[in-house]
Structure 1
Amino acid sequence: MRSFGPMFRLFRVAAGAVVFAAIMVMLGCATASGSLFESEVSAPTERRVGVTEPDDTTAEDEDDEEEEEKVGLAIRTSPTGADVFVDGRRTGTSPLRRELPTGQYHIVAEKDGYRSAELFVSHVHDQYQEVRLELEEILGRLYIDVVPPDAEVRTGFRSVTPGRETELRIGVYPLAISAFGYETHRESIVVNENLTTTISVVLEEAPFRVDSFSARVDHFSPTDPGLLGSASFTVVVSGPGSGEYRVEDSSGRVVLDPIPISFTERSTTVRWDGHDTGGSRLPDGEFTIVFTGDNDIHETHSVSIDRTITRRARPVFGGAAGTLYSPLPASFP
């Protein structure tokens, strides 16, 4: 039994080495673009182990570069983008850095909607110095009364709650008020310092209409397991209403009988999987989606069935970017 001891230990070491090698191979396969180790794989340059790259930059040159970067007067503001004046002369927009002679300077920062900030600073030439100015917002108030009360109110990129006073920085704002079933109201408003700007708006009811009728793709393959396996189109309407869509082939023959749609929100998306009314798959070819609705609305969009569009399965260890299946370029619209 003793003679088998060394052989058994050798066998365990060999088995461990095989398992380790297998793990390394799997990790190596997974280090393609999109894996957790992308930063290691996508290193822009190769470096040989044990070889020192030549560097022509001396310590003196590095010191000179660092000293050159740290020379001058750096002026920063909060918020950024303020006009900076040095001794009454506009110098630029913050943040900035300027090389100035030794002396005392009067620095002013100005920005629309903010109170100007200023300071005096003593600066020594060939030295680095940083100063910061804080600009205070100048505020006013906005109050909007709108019918219907659940309308969406926006001043530029900011949402405002109707029936509630809102503080805004002074200035001119584009105002947009919208609600499903109503025409959008637009105007420009002015918010003044320490004053409340009051706006009252009654939205006008909008007749039912289609504002847009669009498809995500112009061709699809019913055999595709993903998003290219059906044709989806989106109808954006002005308000509540009803309509229906049907599908016609290139000769104008109806292959999918009308399907009703009830619009209860602004945007509605409908999908067609390439089957006819009886549930049979239609052959490749050109088709037309016809949408009709209230108020004699009639919209069309052409789409084609093309089974040459393919999406091949790829294993996760083949470098797929975080998914089990990765689409090929041919599968994109």
Structure 2
Amino acid sequence: MILRFGAVAAAAFVVLAVVSCATSSGTLADKVLEAEDADEDGPAPPPPEGVEGLEIRTDPDGAAVWLNNRYQGTTPLVIGGLARGTYRLVITHKGYHDTVVWLDYPGGSMAYQIALDPILGFVQVDVYPSDAEVALGDKRISRGITPVPVGSYSVKASAFGYIEWRGRITVWENIVTPIAIDLEPAPFAISPPSISRPVVNPGNAGLLGSLEARFDVTGPGSASVTINDWLGHQVHQESLPGFRTWSQRFRWRPSDAIPDGEYSLVISGLGRDGLESRQEGSFTIDRTVRIAPRSSWSGGSGLLYVSTAEALPLRSFQASLVGLAYANPYKDQLQAPIQLSLRAGLGGHVEFDVAAGAILTGATPPIFGSLLLRWQLAAPTRPVGVGVAVEGKAALQGVPGTGILTTDTFANFSGISLGVPIQLTIGQVSLLAEPAVLTSAWQVDYDSDPVTSTSPASWMYWKAGLMLDTGAFVAGVSASARSGSLPYGVFSIDLPVQAGVEFHWLLPDTHVLLGGAFAGEFESPTSLYWMGGISLGLLF
């Protein structure tokens, strides 16, 4: 490529003729009149309440301010301790014309605001090919003459099928700086593919059950993708559309006839220039890897009150926001728990869950949070299978500035717990069970205010649920009961118990989740409450 800097005499003459009156000089009277009469500046908002003095604001900020030849600082600023009178105000900023005005200050609070006038130069762009994109700094510019603020700029020119060019120029006041760029053709090449999910289960719903590979090409051409098994046998081949831009994507959903195992993805391309390029990637098909919507209401992913014996694969995650509400119009009472949760696959059959939220009430809202690590020991295969996992969790809930919350609405009380989720899957239905033991520095007490003193205790959670999972749609019912204090109360039940029903829907051909839940606590027919709400999320 060639960068040609030279005189553009005719264009420079025209531009200089147009801008001959737009210089940084001028009489003081002219500048005073401009400052007083400029409609675009307009009246400034009053200074902040309680601030006395002359407030100076500029667009952009960071301008230096002098008042009666004494430096005051940079904008925005408030100059206090001024007597009433007329003051000479000078505002300077690199790359902008100086502003000089006389201000009549009446005392008290006064605001002066002005948009500074940039000092301009010009660039003239001539680039080949004509459809190339040229960027001056972070701004795209067109061919021809363009006014720009003076200064030093990076220049980038790019076009599909050509080698990107980068350079640097300096723009001076009222001077036309020519930029002429000839881009050189780029040899055809394909980049190594980036496979978004290295383990694919075609039984997962929608996009979650597909292989997606992204790669770049340097120029026009064509290519085909071949999928080979671990023995090198071809199981799929597909021709791609002709390349018209750099970024490319290939998506493929394995059929039921393709078995689990290791596979390779081969991209073979031919450029318009006759050059060949070949790249390869690898992935695994594993139908035991389940990616489906789950709730993290009680700190671990599954249903509202019981965990599943599953772990997301590496690079998969789910982020969800759920909000439930309970209202009692007779007591003028509102409780609205809101929770944000994230579950992520760490690889090696390990999943990490984190949840945090608050219970919106009329008083200071209690807040809660938990961290959970789950290790899947056995996957619940389909159509019939049993899954087992081990999970450890740390949770904390309290009222800021007051103490630890002693209610147990979420079956996720403050403390350290260890649970064993068990999942029996028969087709699309799963029976869930989880015994968990929790050790806490506090005890559950629904009649107590938040506490600051400790009272160590341990107890069991007995959790169970029934889940329908079609992949794109999940529904279930779950419950959790808390035992008496260990060791003697292991088989007793300490009321209330928690229970709920829920559903989650993965919108077709998206990663967006919608859901709803109806849950509550139950102690007796006259001592219970319900809360209901919705959830939104993303699943990748």
Q: TM-score, normalised by structure 1?
A: 0.65
For residue 116 of structure 2, the aligned residue among 112, 125, 135 is 135
Call closer, same or farther: CA 1:282–1:208 in 2, change over 3 Å: same
Q: Give yes or no for the alignment of 1:260 onto 2:239.
A: yes
Question: Could you tell me which residue of structure 2 aligns to residue 309 of structure 1?
Answer: 291
Question: Could you tell me which residue of structure 1 aligns to residue 180 of structure 2?
Answer: 200
Q: CA RMSD in A?
A: 3.5
Query: Structure 1 CA distance, aligned partners of 2:503 and 2:248?
Result: 37
AA of the residue aligned to 1:247: I
Moved more, 195-204 or 300-309: 300-309
Query: Structure 2 CA distance, aligned partners of 1:159 and 1:327?
Result: 39
Query: Structure 2 CA distance, aligned partners of 1:298 and 1:79?
Result: 51
1:281, distance to aligned residue in structure 2 (A) = 4.1
Q: Give yes or no for the alignment of 1:224 onto 2:204.
A: yes
Q: Give yes or no for the alignment of 1:291 onto 2:267.
A: yes
Question: Could you tell me which residue of structure 1 aligns to residue 159 of structure 2?
Answer: 179
Call closer, same or farther: CA 1:242–1:76 in 2, change over 3 Å: same
Question: Could you tell me which residue of structure 2 aligns to residue 332 of structure 1?
Answer: 539
1:154/1:177 contact within 8 Å kept: yes
Call closer, same or farther: CA 1:331–1:133 in 2, change over 3 Å: closer
Identity of aligned residues (%): 29
AA of the residue aligned to 2:150: I
Question: Could you tell me which residue of structure 2 aligns to residue 59 of structure 1?
Answer: none
SS of 1:165 mapped into structure 2? strand
2:214/2:249 contact within 8 Å kept: yes
> What are the within-5 Å matches in structure 2 for residues 1-333 of structure 1?
69-86=50-67, 87-89=69-71, 91-92=73-74, 94-102=75-83, 105-121=87-103, 123=105, 127-162=108-143, 164-211=144-191, 213-249=193-229, 251-261=230-240, 262-275=242-255, 280-294=256-270, 295=275, 297-306=277-286, 307-311=289-293, 312-313=472-473, 326=513, 332-333=539-540
1:239, distance to aligned residue in structure 2 (A) = 0.6
1:272, distance to aligned residue in structure 2 (A) = 1.2
Q: TM-score, normalised by structure 2?
A: 0.42
Bigger strand share: 2
Select the structure with the greater relative contact order (CA < 8 A; seq sep ≥ 6). 1
1:148/1:203 contact within 8 Å kept: yes
Count matched residues.
259
AA of the residue aligned to 1:89: Y
AA of the residue aligned to 1:260: S
Call closer, same or farther: CA 1:240–1:230 in 2, change over 3 Å: same
CA deviations over 1:204-255 (Å, ceiling 9, x no partner): 1110113563233334432333321212222211111233222234x35334
Call closer, same or farther: CA 1:90–1:193 in 2, change over 3 Å: same
SS of 1:136 mapped into structure 2? coil
AA of the residue aligned to 1:233: A
AA of the residue aligned to 1:254: H
AA of the residue aligned to 1:210: I
Call closer, same or farther: CA 1:97–1:322 in 2, change over 3 Å: farther
1:271, distance to aligned residue in structure 2 (A) = 0.7
Query: Structure 2 CA distance, aligned partners of 1:119 and 1:242?
Result: 65
Moved more, 137-146 or 321-330: 321-330
